Chain A
Amino acid sequence: DAGVIQSPRHEVTEMGQEVTLRCKPISGHNSLFWYRQTMMRGLELLIYFNNNVPIDDSGMPEDRFSAKMPNASFSTLKIQPSEPRDSAVYFCASSLLNEQFFGPGTRLTVL
């Protein structure tokens, strides 16, 4: 298995633009997680899904952030409109039995 796949690996955009981050979890895993990591705030859990259903989105910072999981093999995290303070590395992780496997992350820079 290729592991958790995220795209793009790097994204540079201007303030106000829409940003969509993509994640393909490991096949067979039933939980998917979106995290954000910055130097100031560390690694924060934004939202997680179980069997494609959002279970806990209490970490989503505000309404500009939304996440979907239309099927077991794909999830998106969307920021609209983006702001400079959204600049961070966004990780997607998936799990089956309590061990989370992280993707390589998407480094987002909002100018």
Chain B
Amino acid sequence: LAKTTQPISMDSYEGQEVNITCSHNNIATNDYITWYQQFPSQGPRFIIQGYKTKVTNEVASLFIPADRKSSTLSLPRVSLSDTAVYYCLVGDLGTDKLIFGTGTRLQVFP
């Protein structure tokens, strides 16, 4: 499973766009990129998943460059409720196994 590197923490203000970049230099051909969100005292929750280019859903966008060695989770117009830890994971969907790294702790201020 490819190792991922992401910033330990980020700060933002309400209404701003937040971009969290994850590095995964050893990503394999069959690997997908998945992001999870975790609030205090809760289990992680799936946000978005992609293989290449751009994926968008009602919560976030995921940008993946052509070499796939990194990815960026974009949260538009964050609110206080977006304060959480965000995990970037890389793995082969066929194996089901996910390895969580340290995550990025996002703090949104009013």
Spell out A's residues near B (CB within 8 Å): 4, 31, 33, 35, 42-45, 48, 50, 55-56, 91, 93, 95, 98-105
Interface size on B, residues (CB 8 A): 20
Report yes or no: A100 in contact with B42, Cβ–Cβ below 8 A. no
Q: A9 to nearest B CB, angstroms?
A: 10
**Bound: A97/B93 CA distance, A:** 8
Within 8 Å CB of B101, what residues of A? 42
19 A/B residue pairs, CB under 8 Å, sorted by A: A4-B43, A31-B96, A33-B96, A33-B98, A42-B100, A42-B103, A43-B44, A44-B100, A45-B98, A50-B96, A55-B96, A91-B44, A93-B43, A95-B96, A98-B34, A99-B46, A100-B44, A102-B42, A103-B43
**Bound: A69/B37 CA distance, A:** 27
Q: A38 to nearest B CB, angstroms?
A: 12
**Bound: A95/B103 CA distance, A:** 21
The tally of CB-CB contacts under 8 A between chains A and B is: 48
Report yes or no: A48 in contact with B97, Cβ–Cβ below 8 A. yes
**Bound: A56/B98 CA distance, A:** 12
Within 8 Å CB of B87, what residues of A? 43
B16 within 8 A of A: no
Within 8 Å CB of B34, what residues of A? 98
Which A-chain residue is minimally distant from B44 (CB atoms)? A102
